[in-house]
Structure 1
Amino acid sequence: MNYRKNNNKVLYGILLITIAILMFLSSFELLPPGIITQAISYTLIIFGLYSLLKRDFYKGLFAIAFGFKFSPIILIQYLDFNKIGWFTLIFITFLLATGLETLFGKKFAWRKKYKDGRFVGAEFSNKASNQDDLAGEYVMASVNMGESSRYISTTNLKEADLKCNLGSLSAYFIGSQIQNDININVDCRFGNIDLYLPRDWHIQDNIGVSLGNVDIKQNRPKSDYTVYLNGSVNLGNIDVYFN
């Protein structure tokens, strides 16, 4: 069971129900004017601050910016967000988030440890370099504001870390073999990741999705080992193909 996904579903479910109740009460004028906008704004700001604590700068800053835009009176009065157009606000937020992500974003300098697809700790690791052709037990590939393809070919793959920000990454595992359960960890933000896996690999999807999509093609092989897909997708897309 993916507890992280279940927690997200519960959170989103409660949020939607709360908004529906507020809208219903507002329709009968049982709430003060503007209460719905205020509630949405505060929710976005709190969610944004929580995301910043997790170093999720894109999600955090955009949530905070939209929160102030929807309800400018939350901030100091002479900082009126109504004077900032949507395009300007989005562009400024994007630049700020990209800068913070570059300086303080999560790096793949350490390897996450999973057991049965669940995070159990972390340790430093020497991974294969970010080249077009990758080999070794632990491999890593990342793309920032670009497009790239990586070919992973190893006889004993144990873990792979893939990161894509504002770009497109294609990772080919067709020539790889596994001798045990493995983890493929993904971090996709404002981008697209395509995974090409051998058709005999059994996949367990543990990816958390926020305003994105994970599409895994039909996969029901009889395999002794399991490939755990871990990580997150924020305003992005992941497609998994089997060959």
Structure 2
Amino acid sequence: MRNKNGIFWGLFLLLSAVILVVSQMHLLTYTLSFWTIVFSLFLLAVLIKSLVYFSIPGSVFSLAFLAILYAKPLGITNLVPWTILGAALLVSMGLSLILRPLLFKHRPWFNYKKGYTRGHHGPFVSFDYNAEPDMKTVDAPDVDVYVKMGNSVRYVKSDDFQTANVDVNMGEAKVYFDHVTVKDTAEINVNVSLGGVELYIPRDWNVVKNINNNMGNITENGTCNINGDDPDVVISGLVSLGNLKINYI
């Protein structure tokens, strides 16, 4: 799993070389403009990265935008862009439901076996996928938040916070960490797909971000105020066609 960035860039460079050579040799009957090539390379980069990180929304929507870009040579000009994007949304939702067990197995930032296991980023715990999204206070060192097509609010309280796993698919989640104590280090794992997550984090945490962004939006609100004695908290995971907002409070 550690070589995934290398695989991504390797495949991207190979495909870029093919596109460049083919376009310059005029082997295609359809003439490509400069900006068409630029957008094509960008969408191919997103597609490869989505495949490498097993992101269904990123893969489907990058293919949808490529279909819109090449509607004329593909003979689908009768399909308006909104039709293609609407179909992409339905396909993304369907494949996400069908392939969910496979995605859990191959995503490096989550491990869904029972008990503690150690992956690329550290120890993880399993999710309870039968939980209904709602509003509650959680007094535990390890917190699991699962939202699918709904909303969830979690107020975390712990004297020894260690791990939070936040999985949001086509929903919204807000998680407050202002009433927790981190003795040494902690980790917050996020997986956002076609949804939004807001994290409310004490400004005296030394936050280390290790997040893969796949056509998503990651923003920060506020500033940190840390010193040498403050705990380290790693935020890792994937944001795919979604939003992650980190609020320092």
State TM-score, norm by structure 1: 0.72
- Which amino acid in 2 is paired with 1:119? H
> In the alignment, which of 142, 152, 157 is matched to residue 156 of structure 2?
152
Question: When the two structures are aligned, how many residues end up with a matched partner?
Answer: 225
1:173 equivalent in alignment to 2:170: no
1:232 equivalent in alignment to 2:232: no
Contact 1:151 1:172 in 2 (8 A): yes
User: Does the residue aligned with 1:48 lie in a helix, a strand or coil?
Assistant: helix
Matches within 5 A, 1:1-243: 32=26, 34-36=31-33, 37=36, 40-41=39-40, 44=43, 47-48=46-47, 51-52=50-51, 54-72=53-71, 80-105=75-100, 106-107=103-104, 109-110=112-113, 113=118, 119=121, 125=126, 132-216=136-220, 217-222=222-227, 223-243=229-249
- Which amino acid in 1 is paired with 2:224? N
Structure 1: state its 5+ residue gaps: none
Distance in 2, Cα, partners of 1:240 & 1:46: 26
- How far has the Cα of 1:81 moved from its partner? 2.4
* Cα distance change of structure 1 residues 74 and 142 upon mapping to structure 2, 3 Å threshold: farther
Distance in 2, Cα, partners of 1:112 & 1:34: 52
User: Does the residue aligned with 1:35 lie in a helix, a strand or coil?
Assistant: coil
- How far has the Cα of 1:228 moved from its partner? 0.4
User: Does the residue aligned with 2:77 lie in a helix, a strand or coil?
Assistant: helix
State TM-score, norm by structure 2: 0.71
1:204-237 deviation line (CA, Å, top 9, x unaligned): 1112223333223200312342000101222322
Distance in 2, Cα, partners of 1:182 & 1:199: 15
Q: CA RMSD in A?
A: 4.0
- How far has the Cα of 1:65 moved from its partner? 2.1
Paired-residue identity, %? 24
User: Does the residue aligned with 1:66 lie in a helix, a strand or coil?
Assistant: helix
Distance in 2, Cα, partners of 1:146 & 1:127: 16
- How far has the Cα of 1:169 moved from its partner? 0.8
- Which amino acid in 2 is paired with 1:221? I
- How far has the Cα of 1:86 moved from its partner? 1.1
Distance in 2, Cα, partners of 1:112 & 1:68: 41
User: Does the residue aligned with 1:200 lie in a helix, a strand or coil?
Assistant: coil
